[in-house]
Amino acid sequence: MDYENAEKILEVKHLKQYFNVGKADEVRAVDDISFDIYKGETFGLVGESGSGKTTTGRAIIHLYEPTAGEILFNGKNVDNFTSKADQREFRQDMQMIFQDPYASLNPRMKVKDIVAEGIDINHLAKDDADRTKQVEDLLETVGLNKDHSSRYPHEFSGGQRQRIGIARALAVDPKFVIADEPISALDVSIQAQVVNLMKKLQREQGLTYLFIAHDLSMVKYISDRIGVMHYGRMLEIADSDEIYAHPLHDYTKSLLSAVPVPDPEFERTREEIAYDGSGENDGKKRKLVEISPRHWVRAADDEIDMYTQRAHEASLIRK
């Protein structure tokens, strides 16, 4: 990825997403996060369950009304779309691939109708023959047989269903795709197939992905940059190779140290690093600081030196 001349496709600014606001059970699912996604890249979002990564994805595609903050897509504020036409264009440009391929396809609809739903709503087909052709092309693009178009979802395996979900997302020719745990419901041997398909589509159609997952090795493989979330906050953002090789934040270190690796020799010596999250709530004001080029860490003013020191030790910064 060439970040020198990269254009921002999405800007998230101080996004807050609270639930049950003002009540005793108020949940601050996403608490003031900011990040940008560049055109053509894959941005991975990792974190434990409850860290707010799915909520972030859903807020970006505007399934929720944000409590505070701005989401700019191609420079336009997603919240301020008043006209139907603007909203439709936004919905067309941004699509989502869901986690569970068993729950996200309507069992009563034929595959061709599932895939063509977006085409119909946006009137993208001239006539029936054009619609059929578009659907068949899409099915072939995702590696399914075009004769499958008049079947129902239950006739397909998990991996095939996820391909149908991908075809549906691609039907309206999106620019930006949010993939929320797209492979975690699939078998290991099928996961690789779907990831390869997603990478191929990105090369051919110049898509931008927001890839949300908890499988850290798969996220590293597919992503250009990665953001680490914890308790609704973004703790660290960096290029994927760098964040794995030289994590600066203690939480990232702890998270990475817990990933089991398919290598018995390595596993025998692996030591998990515990993380004490209480330091995060000591009342100090923290924000993301760029410690080394494109490597951001959430830090209070008096912690910046410590992180800079760590970056020096990892020779991320040259003097």
How near is the Cβ of 12 to other proteins at its closest, in Å?
24
167 or 195: whose CB is closer to other proteins?
195
42 C-beta neighbours (distance < 10 Å), count: 24
270 or 284: whose CB is closer to other proteins?
270
Amino acid at 158: G
Question: What span, in angstroms and rounded, lies between the C-alpha atoms of 16 and 178?
Answer: 19
How near is the Cβ of 303 to other proteins at its closest, in Å?
22
Give strand pairing partners of 180: 212
Reading the block at residue 186, the tokens are: 């699939």
Q: At 77, is the secondary structure helix, strand, or coil?
A: strand
156 or 296: whose CB is closer to other proteins?
156
Question: What span, in angstroms and rounded, lies between the C-alpha atoms of 316 and 319?
Answer: 10
How near is the Cβ of 105 to other proteins at its closest, in Å?
17
189 or 281: whose CB is closer to other proteins?
189
How near is the Cβ of 259 to other proteins at its closest, in Å?
6
107 or 262: whose CB is closer to other proteins?
262
DSSP 3-state percent helix, strand, coil across the chain (nearest 5):
40, 25, 35
Q: By the criterion CB under 8 A, which residues form the site for other proteins?
A: 48-49, 157, 159-160, 187-193, 195-196, 199, 203, 214, 216-218, 220-221, 241, 244, 254-256, 258-268, 270, 272, 275
Question: What span, in angstroms and rounded, lies between the C-alpha atoms of 282 and 140?
Answer: 54
Residue 237 and residue 288 in contact, taking contact as beta carbons nearer than 8 Å: yes
How near is the Cβ of 46 to other proteins at its closest, in Å?
10
